[in-house]
Amino acid sequence: MLRKAIVGLGAGALLFGSAACGADDGDGSGGDSGEGLVVGFAQVGAESAWRTANSDSVQAAAEADDRIDELKFVDAQQEQEKQIEAIRNFITQQVDVIVLAPVVETGWTDVLGEAETAGIPVVLADRGIEAADEDLYVTRLGSDFVEEGRKAGSWTVETFGGGETTRILELEGTVGSAPANDRKTGFYEVLDGEGLDYELVDSQSGDFTAEGGKSVMETFISTHGLEEVDLLYAHNDEMGLGAIQAIEEAGFEPGTDVQIIIVDGSKAGFEAGVDGKVNYIVECNPVFGDQLMDVVVQVEAGEELEKFTPVEEGVFGPDDFEDELPNRQF
Amino acid sequence: MNSYLKRLFWPLAVLVALLIVNIAVTGFDFIVPSVHDGRLGGAFVNILRGAVPLLLISLGMTIVIATKGIDLSVGAVYAIGAAIACQWILDRDQSALDTVFTAVVLALVVAAVIGAWNGTMVAYFGVQPIVATLILMIAGRGIAQLITGGQIPSVSDDTPFVELGRGAIATVPVPIVIGLVVFFGLVLLTRTTALGMLLESVGGNPEASRLAGIRSKGITILAYLICGACAGLAGIIGSANLGSADANNGGLWIELDAILAVVIGGTALLGGRFFLLGTAIGVAIIGTLEDTIINVGLSSQWQFTAKAIVVFIVAILQSPEFRAWLLKPFRSGSAAEPTAPEPKPEEKAVAK
């Protein structure tokens, strides 16, 4: 009997608790009546320093922007279910714009359809979704990975063009991932297009991790040697930094014996640049909060936008590293 | 001992075959160590050095599997060990030896406690090993992220900590020294004391061994504790090599490679028997395989398929049924005659 009573009490408390939550939410959406916008942001998670910088940037931009009344930020811990749930909550709360950084490309048709029915525009941040669902969002604001590859390619042509055959080692990202595929495509598009005389000595995946970059580079060095290699192109910072360790341990000077291009532009990458171990950094910019807020306001006003809005991204050579280092946010 | 060597024959044959392929492609430099900066180098030494974290985890896994268990949380414990060590050093005087010592001990103790917790769940709460360790496999990386605050902490290159991954003792790389010490330590512990027999008896039949007077619960906890500590040590070496701890990717999927190495080495997942030397050979196969793919010139897309093919070959070569089936056409001529008359007495017996 006592046990039943306790269970009953517990259930009652739970009910009461959830009712209280519901009331809170009702108050929260009262932001609608204010002048600014209420924006729901379903973020991927906090899986990397890049992502953390991205979240910080979006939150800071929303805070500072007068046009934005409130940013409802949901960390989905890399699970699609949590993002879908978050979007449904945003719809219930009648936010003005939904921003989604999708964990995966597929499975969004239903929930984004619901948002459309509710008349809430959706903006994708960073990653994309499958082409069949293109009508369900207004625009995607993100990095143009092919363009990043092209930038690396242009610098290579500029630096090595006209000389003897340029011998290149490449550290690819995770097999089959969009950034790995696109950074490769863009790079060779420029090299082939400009007619650079090059030889790809070897190209393997380092899985975007320092561990992978270092162990693959060790194997490259023992298999091909480094004497004949002119350039190392790493698809991200982490792999590049791992490779630099392997090069140093083999008794070579990274940046001098072998020129190195990395993509991303983290603080650690720039520090290596300042030390002269990296020759060129192509930025993959997570700090697009301000740009995102502009897009959100435009979308809410019903402006026509291209399906893809590239994030503003820079490139940095040896002369820029020291000046740029303090600006790095991740 | 004879049957023990027989078990090791096929894994060894595959390892030698892999080495021959590598030597054929890249020359004898592959196997011959070179000395650089007072440290042994060369392709094969680098493979061994890189494989030490996997070796440590696989040895721990072997002990756990001997008790009919499995530990899926080792990858997460690897990340936790790495995170604790790096974060501790980062927040303090990096070049001080006692800081490094404390960091290593702290990481090891936490990893061992996690292992003991896994063992307690299995032994006292009766949770199935795969479920008990799955919990920490999922939660562990989250814990590691909480420790690092979602960042990748990088320690300075000057701290003695990185020597655990990059240094050398009398030209032998430190990770290899650690790997050998742990390997021989565990071999001595399990083969010169009763512990090995106790582990096998618990794995064979925990209830029977309990009735026989063995404290099977304590033995189970000890096995998981050793496994956890090994995983933590692997994380320390891995992060010392890189000088940083990546909570998301450090030791990712290493539990599967470890189980693979244990199985390749001839330890049955059913428990009751274990072969530490076999596991070490399994680790060498997996480590060499990854380099072979690059040396042969296969693209990264091949990595998983090639691994699967080699594991398939080892697994099938170890199966007595398959070998018998394969050799049947050759044997039938000579072996049929002596065996053929044998059924006769039995038939008589049945007839009577």
Which range (A287-296, B65-74, B192-201, B327-336) has the least confidence?
B327-336
Number of other CB atoms surrounding residue B298 within 10 Å? 14
Q: Kindly state whether A271 is in contact with chain B, defined as any CB-CB distance less than 8 angstroms.
A: no
CATH fold group of domain B2-290: ABC transporter involved in vitamin B12 uptake, BtuC (1.10.3470)
B30, B295, B300: residue with CB nearest A172:
B300
Determine whether B161 is exposed, middle or buried from the number of CB atoms within 10 Å of its CB (0-12, 13-18, 19+): buried
Chain A positions in Cβ-Cβ contact with residue B150 (cut-off 8 Å)? 46, 49, 52
In 3D space, the residue among A286, A264, A281, A288 whose CA is nearest the CA of residue A208 turns out to be A264
Query: Å from B41 to nearest chain A CA?
Result: 8
Query: Å from B225 to nearest chain A CA?
Result: 26
Q: Quick check: A21 pLDDT over 50? A: no
Beta strand A37-43 with A97-100: parallel, antiparallel or unpaired?
parallel
Q: In this structure, are A182 and A250 located in the same domain?
A: yes
pLDDT, one tens digit per residue, over B25-36 is 888 888 888 887
**What does the alpha-carbon distance between residue B278 and residue B281 come to, in Å, rounded to a whole number?**
5
Q: Are residues A249 and B294, on separate chains, in Cβ contact within 8 Å?
A: no
User: Count of domains in chain A?
Assistant: 2
B37, B238, B299: residue with CB nearest A251:
B37
Residue A10 placed within a domain = no
Amino acid letter, B320: P
Q: Where in chain B are the domains?
A: 2-290
> Please, what's the largest Cα pairwise distance for chain A?
90
Q: Quick check: B349 pLDDT over 70? A: no
In 3D space, the residue among B187, B206, B214, B224 whose CA is nearest the CA of residue B65 turns out to be B224
Q: Kindly state whether B60 is in contact with chain A, defined as any CB-CB distance less than 8 angstroms.
A: no
Residues of chain B above pLDDT 90, percent: 57
> What is the reported pLDDT for B333?
54
> What is the reported pLDDT for A30?
39
Query: Å from A222 to nearest chain B CA?
Result: 5
pLDDT, one tens digit per residue, over A238-281 is 999 999 999 998 899 999 999 999 999 888 899 999 999 999 99
What number of C-beta contacts closer than 8 Å exist between A and B? 76
pLDDT, one tens digit per residue, over B130-147 is 999 999 998 998 899 899
pLDDT, one tens digit per residue, over A75-129 is 887 788 889 999 999 999 999 999 999 888 888 999 999 999 999 999 999 888 8
Residue A3 placed within a domain = no
pLDDT, one tens digit per residue, over A130-178 is 888 889 999 999 989 999 999 999 999 999 988 889 999 999 988 877 7
Residue in A78, A79, A222, A239 to test binding to B, most B beta-carbons within 10 Å: A222
pLDDT, one tens digit per residue, over B64-118 is 999 999 999 999 999 999 999 999 999 898 889 999 999 999 999 999 999 999 9
Q: In this structure, are A134 and A43 located in the same domain?
A: yes
Q: Evaluate the CA torsion angle B136, B142, B146, B151 in order and state its sign.
A: positive
Chain A positions in Cβ-Cβ contact with residue B303 (cut-off 8 Å)? 175, 205
Given a contact cutoff of 8 angstroms between Cβ atoms, the answer to whether A43 and A74 are in contact is yes
Q: In this structure, are A187 and A270 located in the same domain?
A: yes
Mean pLDDT of chain A: 86
CATH number at residue A302: 3.40.50.2300
Q: Kindly state whether A248 is in contact with chain B, defined as any CB-CB distance less than 8 angstroms.
A: no
Q: Tell me the three-class secondary structure of chain A, residue by residue.
A: CHHHHHHHHHHHHHHHHHHHHHHHHHHHHHHHHCCCEEEEEEECCCCCHHHHHHHHHHHHHHHHCCCEEEEEEEECCCCHHHHHHHHHHHHHCCCCEEEECCCCCCCCHHHHHHHHHCCCCEEEECCCCCHHHHHHCCEEEECCHHHHHHHHHHHHHHHHCCCCCEEEEEEECCCCCHHHHHHHHHHHHHHHHCCCCEEEEEEEECCCCHHHHHHHHHHHHHHHCCCCCCEEEECCHHHHHHHHHHHHHCCCCECCCEEEEEEECCHHHHHHHHCCCCCEEEECCCCCHHHHHHHHHHHHCCCCCCCEEECCCCEECCCCHHHHHHHCCC
Given a contact cutoff of 8 angstroms between Cβ atoms, the answer to whether B217 and B59 are in contact is no
> What is the reported pLDDT for A16?
43
> What is the reported pLDDT for A5?
52
Q: In this structure, are A298 and A278 located in the same domain?
A: no
Q: Kindly state whether A80 is in contact with chain B, defined as any CB-CB distance less than 8 angstroms.
A: no
Q: Kindly state whether B152 is in contact with chain A, defined as any CB-CB distance less than 8 angstroms.
A: yes
pLDDT, one tens digit per residue, over A38-87 is 999 999 887 777 888 899 999 999 999 999 999 999 988 778 888 999 99
Q: In this structure, are A205 and A166 located in the same domain?
A: yes
Residue in B closest to A266 by C-alpha: B152
Strand runs (DSSP E) across chain B, as ranges? 35-36, 39-40, 168-169, 172-173
Q: In this structure, are A47 and A177 located in the same domain?
A: no
Query: Å from B296 to nearest chain A CA?
Result: 10
Residue in A223, A227, A244 to test binding to B, most B beta-carbons within 10 Å: A223
Chain B positions in Cβ-Cβ contact with residue A251 (cut-off 8 Å)? 36-37
Mean pLDDT of chain B: 88
Q: In this structure, are A308 and A292 located in the same domain?
A: yes
Q: Kindly state whether A237 is in contact with chain B, defined as any CB-CB distance less than 8 angstroms.
A: no
> What is the reported pLDDT for B350?
41
Expressed as residue numbers, the domain containing A274 is 145-284
A49, A52, A223: residue with CB nearest B295:
A223
Residue A48 placed within a domain = yes
Q: Kindly state whether A227 is in contact with chain B, defined as any CB-CB distance less than 8 angstroms.
A: no
> What is the reported pLDDT for B338?
46
How large is the average pLDDT for residues B49-57? 96
Q: In what order do the strands lie in the sheet with A166-172?
A: A198-205, A166-172, A231-234, A259-264, A280-283, A315-316
Residue A274 placed within a domain = yes
Query: Å from A266 to nearest chain B CA?
Result: 11
Chain B positions in Cβ-Cβ contact with residue A222 (cut-off 8 Å)? 26, 29-30, 41-43, 46
How high is the ipTM of this complex? 0.80
pLDDT, one tens digit per residue, over B183-209 is 999 999 999 999 999 999 999 888 898
